[in-house]
Structure 1
Amino acid sequence: MSDILTFIIVPALYLALLLLYLVFVPVIAALRGAALVSELLWRYCRLLGGVLRLRTPEFVTIPPYRPADERAHRNYFFGPATRDLRQLLTLGRRLYVRTVTDAYRRVTADQFTAPSTHRSASVPYGLTLYLGLGVGAAAAAPVLGLLLGLHALGVALLTLGARLTALTLRAADRAVMILRGLPRGMLCPSCFERVPYPAYDCPRTTCRRRHADIRPGTFGLFRRRCACDERIPTLLMLMSRDARLSGHCVHEHCGKPMNPDAGHMPELILPLIGGRAAGKTQLMAAMVKALENTAENGGPAIRLADPESTANQRVLNEVLEIQGHTRPTQKTLPRAHSFVRGSGRAERLVHVFDTAGERFVNREETDALRYIREARTFVFVLDPMAVGAFWTRLDPAGPKVDRTLASTVDPEDVFSRSVQTVRTMGTRLDKARLAVAVSKRDLMTGQSALLPDRPDHSDTTRDWLCERLGLRNLLKTMDLEFGEVRFFCTAAVADEEGRVDPSIGVFVDWCLRE
């Protein structure tokens, strides 16, 4: 009887129970599979938070971008987003394999290796769990793949949007620059090269890192975040009037500071051409002083554009007020004497270049004056005392004229060499204007024979230069080379109250006319 019980009845009951258990196998397997899917999703969410937010070492598989090496923090969609996606792919794959493997190991240990119940019960249950884990692993793979795919799609779309935004902002900035008459960039007042976009130092005094190109792109769309966490506007049009940054020239041989107003308004370049001691520096000082006088009387506002111009003008104003004479300009390349005239949309950044007269005689020296290529109005300072006919017409009985104040260079020689150089630089002189400033009118006071009959009239001054000083050939050359020529008889002096001679005001207005 015991054999019957052992070998027939018990196995039959066991098989019957197994058959009954088979009814519940799909449910148990489905529940175990769902539990595995839920566990994988929960772990993936933790992984997502760790990679995107916590960024602790266990969530890092790719070295991060270092702001200290790149001088600024990258915009998230210009590298870091792709890096995070790659880390998610790597860590997600590891997470999937580790979670599924650990689940199988737990089932093996609990149901096969060291079961807590009889093996007749643990083995079928373990096999059911195996089945559930297989189903769960198979179901979780496409779900996780879908989540990663959606993440990748979001990164791709947002990266595309960020790049299109950067391109749009750059295009808008480019359009503004073209409308301001700066299609090739701003003029560096030191090396005279065009700068497409200046380099800017971090405004934080404890940092001062120099950023070569702050335009929208890799390191920010609207604001660039320096490695010190200071935020810098990425476009000139995003810089407020009171918070304009002072840029630096990007050319390797220069790197000097530029005007804070560079790029924010149209530029006007005004070269002064003339021989040594022709009166260029004093005329330049009188021009700015005349504009200051006009502003005081309700005319367009004027302000010096940089500390160097401010300091130089302060000294030159003192020379004008004592009716002294400036020292000859140094032969080194000049820095532009820059000022801003007007207000609002009428603002103009004016660069006046006062170059040593020696550079206009030597062709090799003149070639360094690259700013001439950008000029559309030229000023030729003509010292009548440098012409031999001037001294032959001098009245011995009249007031004495100090011959030591005369320029030592023939005006025709200076003009011909300068024109040749400007032409070889590619400037269309037939589209340019020329203002001929006859200087040192104040020294001829009392010598009526030395002055035009109507010093304030262009044609009269022209006739005087032709007929009395014998400069007919020079004036013909001017007419042939330039599209428009105007003559001014100027006195670069100021009275005790700092009021500049009226001849300068008329001259400046014509030069700055657009």
Structure 2
Amino acid sequence: MAGCLVLLGFVLYLAALAFLYWLLGAFLWPFIVLAGGLALVVVMLAAHVRAAARVLLARDATDPLVLDPRPGEEPAYESYYRRQHLHDLVEVVRESSSDLAAVARDPLSLGIAIWLMTGRHPRLPRIDIVLLPFTFGFGLASFTAWGLGVAVGTLLLVVSAALHGVLLLLVSGLLGATALTLRGLDALRLGFLRIFMRCPYPGCYHRIELPHYRCGGPGSGHLHRSLRPGRHGVFVRICECGERLPTVLLLRLHRFAAFCTECGRPLPHGLGSARTVHVPLVGGASAGKTTLLMAMMVSLEWMADRGELLLEFSSADSRREFEDAKKELLADQPLQKTAVHLPRAFLFTLARPGKRRGRRMVYLYDPRGEVYHAADSVREQQYLSFSEGVLFVVDPMTAPPMRRLGPEDSRLVAEARPASEEFAQTYDRVAEELRVVRADLLGSGTRAAIVATKSDAVDRLRGIEGPAEPHGEAVSAWLSGPLELGNAVRSLEQQFLDASYWSVSAVEGVRSTASTAQRAVLAEPLLWLLFRPRRTIRSAAH
């Protein structure tokens, strides 16, 4: 009887075990495997996100960064997408792998599965040998779920890292293409607007493709020698002092202090924001070039005060030079003669109200008149080779007829301090050099403004009358006829695509008693050079 009961109990035990395994295989096994595997995948994904956040968002301040400026290179942080993004990707994968391995080894995952299959666990009670066949099935299902979760989680990590890398490559490529596009647009803008940046200092006059820029950070700031879209930023770069600098002139880079790449001296304020126009003043010693230049500036300032122009000095030296000369002119004192052989450009920016796109940054070159007395010294005036217009200053007191006047007129001529040589001689010498250095002069649209000065002295003469009108053909005819400068006038009109003529008095035009017409005519030659549309054929009228 006892044996039968034992046999019956054993049969019932096997039936229960068989039923359990049938139930596991039919219903519970897929559920345990899928639910357990999914739960482990979610935990592993959360660990991956936590690791990525730890690397990307919660970086310790002491962690090394490859963004930091390197000694001897640009004083700016590298763009994140230059190299740091790859370092961070590797760090995210390393941290995630470590966290996923910790999750896989966690007692709540692999440990419980092994306990259910073996009955042993350091922190859990031992499973009786009789119950072990029943728990073994659940342990096997849990172990399968663990393996599935680890496999899927690892696969997702690989896929996530691959997608992260592909996304970084796409972003880096897009930023690289954007940087090249910005460089191209900036170069196109400079060419389209005819912005040819030059150093204004004698002995340099260097053509500048990209100036050096200094930030406005603490102290004297940092000098950036290659401020363009690239490794340190596409739209903006961050200086090591923390200041943000735009990378192209399109983004108003011209607001920062610029320096010549050749001589290191400061460049005009706002260089790159407006079309540049280089204009030399050509005339013999004592022809009145400097007086005319400053009188023109007084006239421009007067027009700016009336709201007809927008005038801004592009360098502190030019402003100071103008203010000093203006005081002397208003006090009716003669200006000191120019003493420099190679001049520093006189710099200012000019625009018409409502036409900011028509702004001009003007470089005026006023050397001492003696440089035009010899071909060698004329050749040293490098700015002649890239000037877009020339302002010729004619001293009527040196014309041949002036030597045939009576005693009273001769005294008046002497009081007017005639130039050291006739204009025709000065022009021939400069014209010959221009033909050498500017073979394209006629076709390039370079124009000439011819200004006869000292009209106040001419008006006092009895033997020679002044032109009927202060501008145009009347002045041209006066120079060709009574002043016997016809050869020079014809040569001018042959060599230059466009030429126009004025007769002015720099001294009378700046006085408080000057009429509106006298003030305005002083600025006309320069405004004509700067704003008259470029011509391709010569006009019969001047």
The alignment's TM-score, normalised by the length of structure 2, stands at 0.77
Local SS of the residue matching 2:348: strand
Does the aligned pair in 2 maintain the 1:224–1:231 contact within 8 Å?
A: yes
Does the aligned pair in 2 maintain the 1:193–1:370 contact within 8 Å?
A: no
Question: Mean alpha-carbon deviation: is it higher for 334-343 or for 226-235?
Answer: 226-235
Q: CA deviation at 1:463?
A: 4.6
Choose from 384, 387, 393 the match for 1:375.
387
User: Unaligned stretches of 5+ in structure 1?
Assistant: none
CA-to-aligned-CA distance 1:471-513 (integer Å, 9 cap, x gap): 4443333232112333333321145417484552443443344
Local SS of the residue matching 1:45: helix
Partner of 2:255: 245
* 1:479 alignment partner AA: E
- For residues 328 and 33 of structure 1, the distance between their equivalents in structure 2, rounded to whole angstroms, comes to 94
Local SS of the residue matching 2:408: coil
Structure 1 residue 87 corresponds to structure 2 residue 91: yes
Partner of 1:350: 362
CA-to-aligned-CA distance 1:184-238 (integer Å, 9 cap, x gap): x434433444434444332345462233455554444554433333333444444
Q: CA deviation at 1:338?
A: 1.8
Partner of 2:162: 149
CA-to-aligned-CA distance 1:254-304 (integer Å, 9 cap, x gap): 4423222x3333333322112333221111111111222334455334333
Partner of 2:540: none
Does the aligned pair in 1 maintain the 2:44–2:153 contact within 8 Å?
A: yes
Local SS of the residue matching 1:422: helix
Pairing of 1:18-37 with structure 2 (within 5 A): 20=20, 23=25, 33-37=37-41
Partner of 2:277: 268
* 1:256 alignment partner AA: P
Does the aligned pair in 1 maintain the 2:283–2:289 contact within 8 Å?
A: yes
Does the aligned pair in 2 maintain the 1:270–1:351 contact within 8 Å?
A: yes
- For residues 200 and 40 of structure 1, the distance between their equivalents in structure 2, rounded to whole angstroms, comes to 50
Local SS of the residue matching 1:81: helix
Partner of 1:394: 405
Does the aligned pair in 1 maintain the 2:67–2:79 contact within 8 Å?
A: no
Change (3 A) 1:287 1:276: same
* 1:258 alignment partner AA: P
Choose from 35, 42, 52 the match for 2:46.
42
Choose from 489, 505, 510 the match for 1:475.
489
Partner of 1:422: 434
- For residues 20 and 101 of structure 2, the distance between their equivalents in structure 1, rounded to whole angstroms, comes to 34
Q: CA deviation at 1:413?
A: 4.3
- For residues 294 and 224 of structure 2, the distance between their equivalents in structure 1, rounded to whole angstroms, comes to 35
* 1:72 alignment partner AA: A
Change (3 A) 1:231 1:499: farther
Change (3 A) 1:485 1:195: same
* 1:38 alignment partner AA: V
Local SS of the residue matching 2:506: coil
Does the aligned pair in 1 maintain the 2:450–2:502 contact within 8 Å?
A: yes
* 2:512 alignment partner AA: E
Choose from 501, 524, 542 the match for 1:487.
501
Does the aligned pair in 2 maintain the 1:393–1:450 contact within 8 Å?
A: no
CA RMSD of aligned residues (A): 4.2
Choose from 55, 58, 75 the match for 1:54.
58
CA-to-aligned-CA distance 1:162-195 (integer Å, 9 cap, x gap): 445445555554554444333xx43443344443
Does the aligned pair in 2 maintain the 1:393–1:449 contact within 8 Å?
A: no
* 2:197 alignment partner AA: M
* 2:388 alignment partner AA: R
Local SS of the residue matching 1:414: helix
Change (3 A) 1:505 1:41: closer
Change (3 A) 1:483 1:305: same
Local SS of the residue matching 2:349: strand
Partner of 1:226: 239
Choose from 335, 338, 348 the match for 2:345.
335
Question: Mean alpha-carbon deviation: is it higher for 230-239 or for 315-324?
Answer: 230-239
- For residues 498 and 512 of structure 1, the distance between their equivalents in structure 2, rounded to whole angstroms, comes to 28
Choose from 312, 315, 326 the match for 1:306.
315
- For residues 40 and 134 of structure 1, the distance between their equivalents in structure 2, rounded to whole angstroms, comes to 13
Change (3 A) 1:453 1:214: closer
- For residues 453 and 181 of structure 2, the distance between their equivalents in structure 1, rounded to whole angstroms, comes to 51
Change (3 A) 1:139 1:367: farther
Choose from 180, 184, 187 the match for 2:193.
180
Does the aligned pair in 2 maintain the 1:380–1:436 contact within 8 Å?
A: yes
- For residues 50 and 351 of structure 2, the distance between their equivalents in structure 1, rounded to whole angstroms, comes to 61
* 1:268 alignment partner AA: V
Change (3 A) 1:256 1:272: same
- Count residues with an aligned counterpart: 505
Q: CA deviation at 1:15?
A: 11
- For residues 394 and 83 of structure 1, the distance between their equivalents in structure 2, rounded to whole angstroms, comes to 88
* 1:448 alignment partner AA: R
User: Unaligned stretches of 5+ in structure 2?
Assistant: 533-542
Change (3 A) 1:245 1:57: closer
Partner of 1:439: 453
Structure 1 residue 449 corresponds to structure 2 residue 467: no
Change (3 A) 1:334 1:201: same
The alignment's TM-score, normalised by the length of structure 1, stands at 0.80
Question: Mean alpha-carbon deviation: is it higher for 102-111 or for 361-370?
Answer: 102-111
- For residues 308 and 57 of structure 1, the distance between their equivalents in structure 2, rounded to whole angstroms, comes to 46
Does the aligned pair in 1 maintain the 2:385–2:438 contact within 8 Å?
A: yes
Choose from 170, 185, 202 the match for 2:215.
202
Question: Mean alpha-carbon deviation: is it higher for 315-324 or for 400-409?
Answer: 400-409
Question: Mean alpha-carbon deviation: is it higher for 70-79 or for 245-254?
Answer: 70-79
- For residues 156 and 44 of structure 1, the distance between their equivalents in structure 2, rounded to whole angstroms, comes to 21
- For residues 308 and 344 of structure 1, the distance between their equivalents in structure 2, rounded to whole angstroms, comes to 28
Local SS of the residue matching 2:273: coil
Does the aligned pair in 1 maintain the 2:255–2:269 contact within 8 Å?
A: no
Partner of 1:279: 288
- Aligned-pair identity (%): 23
